[in-house]
A = this chain, B = another copy of it.
Amino acid sequence: MGDEIQPPADQLAAVSLSSDAASSSTVKKERFSDRVLVKSILGRPDGGAGLSGQKVRISGRVKTGREQGKGTFAFLEVNDGSCLVNLQVMVDASVYDLSKLVPTGTSVVVDGYLKIPPEGKRTKQKIELSVEKVVFVGTVDKDYPIHKTDLSLKYLRDYTHLRSRTNLFAAVESIRDELEKATHGFFGEEDFLKIRTPIITTSDCEGAGEMFQVTTLMSKPVLPVKDGRIDYSQDFFGRKAFLTVSGQLQLEISACSHRSAYTFGPTFRAENSHTSRHLAEFSMVEAELTEADLEDDMNCAEAYVKYMCEWLLEKCDDAMEFMAKNADEGCIERLKSVAMTPFERVTYTEAIELLEKAVSQGKVFENHVEWGIDLASEHERYLTEVVFQKPVVVYNYPKGIKAFYMRVNDDGKTVAAMDVLVPKVGELIGGSQREERYEVIKERMEEMGLPTEPYEWYLDLRRLGTVKHSGFGLGFERMVLFVTGMDNIRDVTPFPRYPGRADL
């Protein structure tokens, strides 16, 4: 899918619906409002036909409206966000001033009767609404910025407060929501404790990336200075504080209490990245498994990704079908394939051999390939997209390119680290078995020139009854990209933050 086209709303009419709507012959209104959700009408197995004759209140937004019969009545395609399909609503000119209802974007609340449209008529729907009373109208000014249906994604990024009204963004939001539900479902079933790791931190997860500083000093007329430096003892927390780059280290506390745990939190990178894969604020799902080695860790990561794919196939077929029609033809097949096929597993050393073989056969990479390099994105994508054409787990990386907390393997050269690479996205998950041996981790920190003082608490977890454990982190927005087939990470989170932009 290119970056330009937002598909027209009427491509949606035939999209099927996933819904738990009952098949009873009475409508069910929302519990905390007087309206009935369109999903609970059109999502029924009978397409709503069995509700003919029922009186309902509908609230929604006019996607398209047109006056007909020389202005004696109007048809409105009304969307209420509960599903991607619109309800066809018929209003007679005797009921309301039609010119106020038809503009795209108008918000309406209407009471009326459901009825089966006359045979052979212009709708594919089994039921439409004949309006008895217009309860409320929220008009749109003429400058409504999203009145057209062929707006580019780039254009819509300037309207983050309105773009969720489009079908594409509504579909992506639903899929994101279901992926989050699947995450809680998976870790709940496996009995992991959900832990609230901190957002403001005074620990640095080993330079995982540039950090944002959190301060109240800049609101003072003059920054406090001591010995020629900013005096952080006067800052809110009495010392320098940052936005977290990872909840891993704190999550290990739980794993070391023998309770496997996960966290689903915002994480931050103050990096000047302008790519379609990076955000300054994003979401990570991080898990730490007690009494688990690297293989257990890989098994868990793979099972989690498969679980999410299965979940979407089961719960999200209308939104996924929409994405297949409008964004990425192969996205449903990809879900099925990921859910059913075992991931490939290769050591880093094997991966390098595969890349070197490709180079010897004429493949050109921008970055040189040899044992010891950190795999570049082009290498990762070549492995998953060209060599294996499915998700690949690469494990046992050279010690020199990995973090101090990863467990040193018996060969002394590699660490028990793993990355899950997937087509379209590259690295989706990174993880490792954690070094649980106090002497080994201390020596490694010294080797790497890391100060031990800020990590005393972390070392305590090894010194005071250490526990074997492993963990991983999944970039949640990358998972949304992977399943939806969207191209730009700025379009799969409602309020993207990147250099120069933090709208709203």
B-binding residues in A (CB < 8 A): 30-35, 37, 39, 59-61, 79-82, 105-107, 109, 136, 138-141, 144-145, 160-162, 164-165, 170, 173-174, 176-177, 180-181, 184, 188, 190-191, 193-203, 210, 212-219, 223, 230, 236-239, 241, 243, 249-250, 253-254, 256-260, 265-266, 268, 270, 280-281, 283, 289-292, 296-297, 299-300, 303, 436, 457-458, 460-461, 463-468, 493-495, 497, 499-504
Alpha-carbon gap, A138 to B160, bound state (A): 52
Contacts A82-B259, A464-B144, A466-B107 given; indicate if A196 touches B283 (C-beta within 8 A): yes
Contacts A190-B32, A197-B495, A465-B139 given; indicate if A460 touches B161 (C-beta within 8 A): yes
Contact (Cβ within 8 A) A497 B80:
no
A371 to chain B, nearest CB (A): 30
Contact (Cβ within 8 A) A193 B214:
no
Alpha-carbon gap, A81 to B290, bound state (A): 10
Complex partner residue of A80 from B60, B258, B501, CB under 8 angstroms: B258
Alpha-carbon gap, A285 to B241, bound state (A): 25
Contact (Cβ within 8 A) B59 A257:
no
Contacts A198-B281, A214-B212 given; indicate if A33 touches B291 (C-beta within 8 A): yes
Nearest B residue to A195, CB-CB: B494
Contacts A184-B184, A237-B502 given; indicate if A467 touches B59 (C-beta within 8 A): yes
Alpha-carbon gap, A161 to B454, bound state (A): 13
Alpha-carbon gap, A237 to B497, bound state (A): 8
Q: Which chain B residues border A59 with CB–CB below 8 Å? A: 258, 290-291, 467
Q: Supply 28 A–B pairs (Cβ within 8 Å), ascending by A.
A: A32-B289, A33-B296, A61-B465, A82-B259, A138-B436, A140-B463, A140-B464, A141-B463, A160-B457, A161-B458, A164-B253, A170-B259, A176-B196, A177-B193, A177-B194, A195-B494, A198-B281, A198-B502, A198-B504, A199-B281, A202-B504, A212-B214, A212-B216, A213-B215, A213-B218, A218-B230, A223-B223, A238-B501
Q: Which chain B residues border A464 with CB–CB below 8 Å? A: 105, 140-141, 144-145, 162
Contact (Cβ within 8 A) A193 B218:
no
Complex partner residue of A213 from B216, B465, B493, CB under 8 angstroms: B216
Contact (Cβ within 8 A) B191 A37:
yes
Could you say which of A236, A465, A493 has the most chain B C-beta atoms within 10 Å of its C-beta?
A: A465
Alpha-carbon gap, A306 to B413, bound state (A): 56
Complex partner residue of A81 from B203, B259, B299, CB under 8 angstroms: B259
Q: Which chain B residues border A463 with CB–CB below 8 Å? A: 140-141
Contact (Cβ within 8 A) B216 A210:
yes
Complex partner residue of A180 from B141, B194, B258, CB under 8 angstroms: B194
Q: Which chain B residues border A461 with CB–CB below 8 Å? A: 161
Contact (Cβ within 8 A) B60 A258:
yes
Nearest B residue to A462, CB-CB: B138
Complex partner residue of A495 from B37, B176, B250, CB under 8 angstroms: B250
Q: Which chain B residues border A292 with CB–CB below 8 Å? A: 32-33
Alpha-carbon gap, A181 to B194, bound state (A): 9
Could you say which of A144, A161, A270, A289 has the most chain B C-beta atoms within 10 Å of its C-beta?
A: A161
Q: Which chain B residues border A212 with CB–CB below 8 Å? A: 200, 214-216, 236
Q: Which chain B residues border A501 with CB–CB below 8 Å? A: 237-238
A390 to chain B, nearest CB (A): 22
Contact (Cβ within 8 A) A193 B215:
no
Q: Which chain B residues border A215 with CB–CB below 8 Å? A: 212-213, 215, 218
Q: Which chain B residues border A162 with CB–CB below 8 Å? A: 253, 460, 464
Alpha-carbon gap, A161 to B174, bound state (A): 37
Alpha-carbon gap, A250 to B495, bound state (A): 9
Alpha-carbon gap, A467 to B299, bound state (A): 47
Q: Which chain B residues border A30 with CB–CB below 8 Å? A: 190-191, 260, 291
Contact (Cβ within 8 A) A201 B258:
no
Contacts A236-B280, A237-B499 given; indicate if A504 touches B468 (C-beta within 8 A): no
Alpha-carbon gap, A39 to B383, bound state (A): 42
Nearest B residue to A240, CB-CB: B218
Contact (Cβ within 8 A) B32 A465:
no
Alpha-carbon gap, A493 to B195, bound state (A): 9
Q: Which chain B residues border A268 with CB–CB below 8 Å? A: 199-200
Q: Which chain B residues border A106 with CB–CB below 8 Å? A: 465
Q: Which chain B residues border A230 with CB–CB below 8 Å? A: 218
Contacts A33-B292, A465-B139 given; indicate if A61 touches B257 (C-beta within 8 A): yes
Alpha-carbon gap, A30 to B138, bound state (A): 55
Alpha-carbon gap, A216 to B210, bound state (A): 9
